[in-house]
């Protein structure tokens, strides 16, 4: 059978675009369809705009520090509208870069939603169909709201970048990295931030000691953080809303109409700790789900997991031999560089004849809280459940902010196997921890031992020198 394309990619995010370009460079005839904007979550409504917001939010403290260093500077008010315009211009530029890269690679672009008709056929939103020998699904994921009355009054992370005005106050619901990052960002921009999380500590799944320091520092910087707390009711500000949708204090059966025009409040919220307050905005950062709905996947024979993810093997292949999937839609490791690596491995396997499984072991990552958190490998808790370990750890006030009189603390931590001496985990809480963990991650991925770290001469004076100067374990387990 003759196909229209060798490869049709559904989804124009980082993983899909990379796979399309690399496959085209191997001589394949490739097309890609994206229903929203090229660049996907990371470039348009995730990593990139978020990191620019992190930069913007850090200047308030930096201006204050500068005065301690002798600079006669005064910070004015933050202008959200000016920043937002510049941000949107930059995102437009980046989307144009992605389009140019695809055009330059001779990848045909369809600005359209695409769904599966069968194992080799894609149907576009205008009703036309395209056939391909191989189909790669890279549709990513989306933020979800909790299942509760009036949840539509709360924003999700996508909405943050489209706010016309910066709220004076916000309630952020959730304890994962997205919730914590936006708490720090908005706090830095001058918003009064309250964060609630139903669990016992934020950043579940990360190293316990690092989580504790980050939560302490968030509170120190002004985030009103409450753990073991959730919301039980929310409604438009005014009389307030009961859980059944009726205005609190209103006659039984009288329902306040949903305000579909409300994006970000004001919203009245009642919490499990008994607090009832009005916030200019509510942000739900309570989870994400794969973009698999209404795509014809199951009809084409593609298995969908219980969380809506596409089930794939080690080579990103579904149960349908011609259909592959990469990135967040598979719900494996939901990070942009991982999606790109999965796309590269797919091309190696399918178009270069070099079967390449995806390596999801020892992936460095960063959480852009303030201070940042960089991590690779096992947490102390995971490691001690696996084998006997030693823990090398230090926490101190860094020179730069200590001089400015700030109480900030940083953490440097190595989790080491007693048997092999390999560094099983490295955890850094510090300014620029993301930059540090990228480099430390190389050593950990290579299997470096504690003695390899010890043999490395320190760079002084730096925060990161502590990684190679810790000589005695603080505890064993």
109-123 tens-digit pLDDT: 999 999 999 999 999
Tokens 């200047």 — which residue? 59
pLDDT number for residue 229: 97
Distance CA 69, CA 73 (A): 10
Residue 278: C-alpha distances to residues 140, 170, 249, 265, 438 (Å) = 34, 9, 16, 9, 41
Distance CA 255, CA 450 (A): 64
CATH 3.50.50.60 for domain 5-142+289-350: yes
pLDDT number for residue 250: 32
pLDDT in tens, 399-455: 999 999 999 999 999 999 999 999 999 999 999 999 999 999 999 999 999 999 999
pLDDT number for residue 238: 73
What's the sign of the alpha-carbon dihedral 210, 216, 222, 223? Answer: positive
Identify the three-state secondary structure at position 440. Answer: helix
Query: Does position 256 have pLDDT exceeding 60, yes or no?
Result: no
pLDDT number for residue 344: 98
The pTM (predicted TM-score) of the whole model is 0.93
Query: Does position 254 have pLDDT exceeding 90, yes or no?
Result: no
Cα angle 303, 28, 136; round to 5: 15
Query: Does position 218 have pLDDT exceeding 80, yes or no?
Result: yes
Query: Does position 260 have pLDDT exceeding 70, yes or no?
Result: no
Closest CA to 375 of 457, 452, 453, 430: 430
pLDDT number for residue 76: 85
pLDDT number for residue 258: 36
In which region does residue 229 sit, left (phi positive, over 0), alpha (psi from -120 to 50) or beta (all else)? beta
Query: Does position 257 have pLDDT exceeding 90, yes or no?
Result: no
State the average pLDDT over residues 468-474: 98
* pLDDT: which is higher, 253 or 361: 361
Distance CA 402, CA 431 (A): 13
Residue 380: C-alpha distances to residues 11, 341, 377, 392 (Å) = 37, 27, 10, 10
pLDDT number for residue 210: 98
State the average pLDDT over residues 334-349: 98
From the candidates 134, 241, 361, 460, give the one annotated as an active-site residue: 460
State the average pLDDT over residues 242-268: 43
DSSP string, 82-144: HHHHHHHHHHHHHHHHHHHHHHHTT-EEE-S-EEEEETTEEEETTS-EEEEEEEEE---EEE-
State the average pLDDT over residues 244-256: 34
pLDDT in tens, 65-80: 999 999 998 878 999 9
Query: Does position 247 have pLDDT exceeding 80, yes or no?
Result: no
Band of residue 265 on the pLDDT scale cut at 50, 70, 90: low
pLDDT number for residue 380: 98
Q: Are 184 and 293 in contact (CB under 8 A)?
A: no
pLDDT in tens, 298-337: 999 999 999 999 999 999 999 999 999 999 999 999 999 9
Query: Does position 347 have pLDDT exceeding 70, yes or no?
Result: yes
Q: What is the mean pLDDT of the chain?
A: 94
**Domains of the chain: which residue ranges?**
5-142+289-350, 151-284, 365-476
C-alpha radius of gyration, the chain, whole number: 24
pLDDT in tens, 114-156: 999 999 999 999 999 999 999 999 999 999 999 999 999 999 9
pLDDT in tens, 440-462: 999 999 999 999 999 999 999 99
CB-facing half-sphere around the CA of 250: CA atoms within 13 A: 17
CATH class entry, domain 151-284? alpha beta
Distance CA 10, CA 109 (A): 10
pLDDT number for residue 246: 36
Q: How far is CA 401 from the centre of its chain?
A: 27
CATH 3.40.190.10 for domain 365-476: no
Active site residue 142: no
Distance CA 17, CA 138 (A): 9
Distance CA 147, CA 425 (A): 37
Same fold, 5-142+289-350 and 151-284: yes
State the average pLDDT over residues 220-243: 84
């Amino acid at each position: 059978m003759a196909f229209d394309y060798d490869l049709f990619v559904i989804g124009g995010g980082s993983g899909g675009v990379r796979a399309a370009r690399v496959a085209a460079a191997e001589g394949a005839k490739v097309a890609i369809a994206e229903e929203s904007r090229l660049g996907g979550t990371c470039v348009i409504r995730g990593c990139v705009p978020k990191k620019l917001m992190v930069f913007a939010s850090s200047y308030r403290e930096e201006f204050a520090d500068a005065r301690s260093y002798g600079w006669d500077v005064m910070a004015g008010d933050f202008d959200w509208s000016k920043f937002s315009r510049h941000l949107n211009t930059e995102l437009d530029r980046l989307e144009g870069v992605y389009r140019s890269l695809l055009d330059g690679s001779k990848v045909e672009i369809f600005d359209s939603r695409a769904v599966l008709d069968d194992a080799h056929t894609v149907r576009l939103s205008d009703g036309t169909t395209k056939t391909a020998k191989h189909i790669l699904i890279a549709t990513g994921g989306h933020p979800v709201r909790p299942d509760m009355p009036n949840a539509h009054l709360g924003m999700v992370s996508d909405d943050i970048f489209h706010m016309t005005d910066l709220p004076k106050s916000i309630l952020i619901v959730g304890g994962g990295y997205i919730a914590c990052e936006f708490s720090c960002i908005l706090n830095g921009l001058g918003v009064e931030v309250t964060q609630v999380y139903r669990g016992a500590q934020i950043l579940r799944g990360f190293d316990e000691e690092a989580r504790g320091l980050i939560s302490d520092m968030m509170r120190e910087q002004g985030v009103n953080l409450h753990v073991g707390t959730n919301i039980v009711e929310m409604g438009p500000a005014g009389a307030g809303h009961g859980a059944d949708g009726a205005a609190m204090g209103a006659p039984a059966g009288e329902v306040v109409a949903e305000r579909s025009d409300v994006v970000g409040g004001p919203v009245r919220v009642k919490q499990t700790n008994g607090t009832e307050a009005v916030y200019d905005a509510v942000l739900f950062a309570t989870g994400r789900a794969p973009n698999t709905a209404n795509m014809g996947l199951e009809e084409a024979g593609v298995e969908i997991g219980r969380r809506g993810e596409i089930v794939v093997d080690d080579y990103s292949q579904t149960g349908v031999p011609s259909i592959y999937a990469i990135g967040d839609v598979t719900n494996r490791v939901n990070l942009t560089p991982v999606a790109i690596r999965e796309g590269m491995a797919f091309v190696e396997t399918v178009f270069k004849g070099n079967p390449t499984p995806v390596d999801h072991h020892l992936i460095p990552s960063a959480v852009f809280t303030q201070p940042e958190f960089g991590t690779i490998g096992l947490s102390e808790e995971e490691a001690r459940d696996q084998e006997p370990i030693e823990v090398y750890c230090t926490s101190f006030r860094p020179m730069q902010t200590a001089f400015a009189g700030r109480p900030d603390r940083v953490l440097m931590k190595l989790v080491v196997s007693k048997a092999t001496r390999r560094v099983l985990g490295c955890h850094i809480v510090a300014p620029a921890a993301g930059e540090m963990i990228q480099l430390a991650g190389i050593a950990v991925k290579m299997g470096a031992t504690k003695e390899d770290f010890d043999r490395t001469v320190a760079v002084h004076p730096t925060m990161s020198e502590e990684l190679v100067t810790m000589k005695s374990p603080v505890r064993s387990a």
